Amino acid sequence: MLRFETPHGTVVPEETKGLKFGHLTTNLAFKLARKLGRKPPELASEIASAIEKDSRVERVQVAGGFVNIFLKKEFLREYLLSLHGKLPEPGWEEERPPIAFDNREGKHNLEFVSANPTGPLNVVNARAAAIGDSLVRIGRFLGYRSDAEYYVNDEGTQIEMLGWAILWRLGYIPEEELPEDAYRGDYVKDIAEAIRDRIPRFEKPDSSIAYTIGKMGSDYILQTQMETLKRFRVRYDRITRESFVRESKYPEEALKNLSDKGLLYFESKDGKRKPFDEFTGLGEPLKKLLDRDFYLKHFEGFALYLETTRFGDDKDRVIIRSNGLPTYFFWDIAYHFYKVERGYDYIVDFLGPDHHGYIGRLRAALSALGFDVSHFHMEIVQQTNLLREGKRVRMSKRKGQLYTMDELLDEVGVDAARFFFLMRSPSAHLDFDMTLASRIGKENPVYYVQYVHARVQSIKEHAAGQGISWSIEDLNLDMTDTDYEREMVRKLLYLEMYLNKAYEKFEPHHLVFYLMELADTFHSFYQNIRVVDPQEPGRTAARIALLEVLRKVIGTGLNLIGVKAPDRM
């Protein structure tokens, strides 16, 4: 990042709104004015005169409290060459990016999608996949150790419900006997068929048979989900199963941590309380609480509560139900404990819109465990509506009429799907216009950006055909000084700023907007300036060199959001 030292501290300048404001700007004077009790213009001129002495700077301009910085051509050339050297050749969009910037401090965990293994992935899952995967790419590229994680809820009632649904589809039970919460969607037929031959023998279907079959079904579903995600160019570094967490030492550790702090108590539905000491008095290890028979024997009718209200929650939460079964919430606490223990200094969860109310209690539980919640970030990936010909596509879950992620990819393709998901901030409701996304042409922003890459490649080919040779060293800003080109140079300075912004805010759309702006600049340039001119080989070479930097920036940006940068369109 570009920085400047001044008597008022280090300035990390920002982008400008146009070349008339210079290449970079800072409003530091405004910010300091109140604190120091001085006038912004005075401070600005002090900051300006310090920056002016910097060898990279051509001149500065003070406007009110703004200090606008104009950089020297020699420095700009050096910067662009170094940028070019750092960026990989496009074409790695299926893989993890190389580290291009500094090797930064920080090991981060980003968990996203984590859909229940009871059905196909849907459109919100796809959106979360695009967001999470792109951020992991950007994080790695910036030099952080960013890991993508998938959590599988392969235990619990839902698994049994899946099992019942499969039993029904295979004809073992009539529809009337199907539990109310069982999955009735048509997709269960395919799953049933896929595992039919491996179903164990049994006398009469019961809960435990349903559970076993549900497990088989969910394994199969997980596998198909992973295939879909792979098709979407999403990679995971780790898949964690809830069954693994349950068997690990973390549930017990969490109980120990919370009981040591006196945050647990028993309460019955009619409000009778028992202190946690009633358990402690039994002299049994904490693990016993997770043994259902043991729990029922001693605490039947009572649930085990965690005092999350002491940490800002609206009410205390149940972690073991009075039927002896721990809640999802409890296993999730153990899971987060496990993530922390793995040594991440930043943990991010992307949750679906229906988990909105869950954030508060999870944060409260994490504080209860003694973790610094500023190291956790929970982001809601908002709802997505599909539009076709301007009309809502119904995605009702009932009767299995759901529109799946695979269908979306069939209809609009991976590039358009990823790009469209990333055009909006994750927290905004998204209207996904499939008619627009599947159109080929200027109205479709994904082609608009990809076309830049293809056009530059085409120019290079044309130049070669004219016998013009060039190299990146031919970059010469004296020969590329039309307004178009100077504007291009200015915007090329901002790549790293936008990557940082996108990553720090967990909002990849900032990168997408940057790419669209760069593409804009290029297309205007292309329309008005002829690049290849055999009469002026020097200028031609200089222009191609500049476009080559642009091409790599666009190509890298696209690959970081998992979109291809084609050589030809």
Rounded to whole angstroms, how far apart are CA atoms 10 and 6? Answer: 6
Amino acid at 139: G
Tell me which stretch binds RNA (CB under 7 A): 96-104, 277-285, 290-298, 520-528: 520-528
Q: Which stretch binds RNA (CB under 7 A): 130-138, 336-344, 355-363, 551-559?
A: 355-363
475 within 8 A of 549, measured Cβ to Cβ: yes
Cβ atoms 308, 364 nearer than 8 A:
yes
CA angle at 368 for the pair 364 and 372, rounded to the nearest 5°: 80
Yes or no: say if 151 and 177 are a contact pair by the CB < 8 Å rule.
no
Listed in sequence order, the DSSP H helices in 96-206 are 123-142, 157-169, 187-195
Q: Which residue from 66, 79, 220, 470 is in contact with RNA, where contact means CB under 7 A?
A: 66
In this chain, which of 402, 434, 532, 550 binds RNA, going by CB under 7 A? 532
Q: Which of 423, 437, 479, 488 binds RNA (CB under 7 A)?
A: 423
CA 337 to chain centre: 21
| Among 224, 308, 322, 556, contact with RNA (rule: CB under 7 A) | 322
- Rule CB under 7 A: say whether 490 interacts with RNA: no
- Interface stretch with RNA, choices 43-51, 366-374, 398-406, 510-518 (CB under 7 A): 510-518
β-strand partners of 122: 404
How many residues in the shown chain lie near RNA by CB under 7 A?
88
Stretch that binds RNA, among 43-51, 428-436, 475-483, 549-557 (CB under 7 A): 428-436
Of 163, 67, 148, nearest to 107 (Cα)?
148
Rule CB under 7 A: say whether 25 interacts with RNA: yes
Query: Nearer to RNA by C-beta: 236 or 525?
Result: 525
Residue 285 or 312: which CB sits closer to RNA?
Answer: 312
The stretch near RNA (CB under 7 A) out of 89-97, 138-146, 203-211, 523-531 is: 523-531
**Using CB under 7 A, which of 81, 178, 318, 472 touches RNA?**
318
For residues 306-319, one letter each, b for 16 or more C-beta atoms within 10 angstroms of the residue's C-beta and e for the rest, the string is bbbeebebeebbbb
Cα 38 vs. chain centroid, distance in angstroms? Answer: 42
Q: Any contact of residue 529 with RNA (CB under 7 A)?
A: yes
Q: Does 36 bind RNA (CB under 7 A)?
A: no
Q: Footprint of RNA on residues 244-273 (CB under 7 A)? A: 267-269
Nearer to RNA among residue 350 and residue 451 (C-beta): 451
Residue 510 interacting with RNA (CB under 7 A):
yes
Q: Is 116 in the site for RNA (CB under 7 A)?
A: yes
**What is the amino acid identity at position 37?**
G
Among 2, 8, 19, 31, binds RNA (CB under 7 A): 31
Q: Between 57 and 459, whose beta carbon lies closer to RNA? A: 459
When asked if residue 228 is in the footprint of RNA (CB under 7 A), the reply is no
With respect to RNA, which residue has the nearer C-beta, 54 or 533?
533
Any residues with CB less than 8 A from the CB of 231 and at least 6 apart, and which? 406, 409, 414
Shortest distance in whole angstroms from residue 501 CB to RNA: 6
* Nearest distance from C-beta of residue 86 to RNA, angstroms: 22
Quick check: 514 binds RNA (CB under 7 A)?
no
Candidates 59, 292, 356, 394: give the one binding RNA (CB under 7 A). 356
Which of 262, 431, 254, 259 has its CA nearest to residue 333?
A: 254
Q: Beta strand 66-71 with 57-63: parallel, antiparallel or unpaired?
A: antiparallel
Residues in 284-303 that interact with RNA by CB under 7 A? 302-303
Residue 564 sits in the site that holds RNA (CB under 7 A): no
Return the residues of window 125-164 that contact RNA according to CB under 7 A.
153, 156-158
Least distance from RNA to the Cβ atom of residue 27, Å: 4
Q: Does residue 183 belong to the site contacting RNA (CB under 7 A)?
A: no
Query: 111 forms bridges with which residues in the sheet?
Result: 149, 349
Residue type present at position 551: R
At closest approach, how far in Å is the CB of 521 from RNA?
Answer: 9
CB of residue 287 vs RNA: minimum separation in angstroms? 19
> What are the φ and ψ backbone dihedral angles of 89, each rounded to 5 degrees?
-70, 130
CA distance 421 to 239: 23
Please, what is the minimum distance in Å from the beta carbon of residue 432 to RNA?
Answer: 8
Which two tokens mark 88?
């990989």
CB 403 within 8 A of CB 122: yes
**172 vs 502 by CB, closer to RNA:** 502
Q: What distance in Å separates the CA atoms of residue 214 and residue 271, rounded to the nearest whole number? A: 36
Q: Considering only 130-138, 223-231, 244-252, 505-513, which stretch makes contact with RNA by CB under 7 A?
A: 505-513
Tokens of 307: 């005092």
User: Interacting stretch for RNA, rule CB under 7 A, among 21-29, 140-148, 171-179, 335-343?
Assistant: 21-29
By CB under 7 A, what part of segment 373-402 binds RNA? Answer: 383
Backbone angles phi, psi at 388, to 5 degrees: -130, 125
Among positions 444-473, residues that touch RNA (CB under 7 A) are 445, 447-448, 451, 454-455, 458-459, 461-463
Please say whether the dihedral angle defined by the alpha carbons of residues 442, 447, 448 and 451, taken in this order, is positive or negative. negative
In sequence order, the 6+-apart residues with CB closer than 8 A to the CB of 53 are none
Out of 82, 291, 401, 440, the residue judged to bind RNA by CB under 7 A: 440
Residue number, 19 or 409, with CB nearest to RNA: 19
Least distance from RNA to the Cβ atom of residue 502, Å: 10
Strand 376-380 relative to strand 346-351, pairing: parallel
CB of 288 to RNA, least distance (A): 18
In angstroms, what CA-CA distances link 202 with 163, 172, 199? Answer: 14, 10, 9
CB of 248 or CB of 327, closer to RNA: 327
* Residue whose C-alpha is closest to residue 557's, from 502, 515, 519: 515
* Nearby residues of 133 by Cβ (< 8 Å), 6 or more positions away: 112, 148, 232, 233, 234, 235, 562
- Based on the shown chain and the rule CB under 7 A, indicate whether residue 520 belongs to the binding site for RNA: yes
DSSP readout, 20-56? GG-SEEE-HHHHHHHHHT--HHHHHHHHHHHHHTSTT
Q: From residue 520, how far is each of 443, 451, 496, 550, 558 by CA, in Å?
A: 13, 11, 19, 12, 15
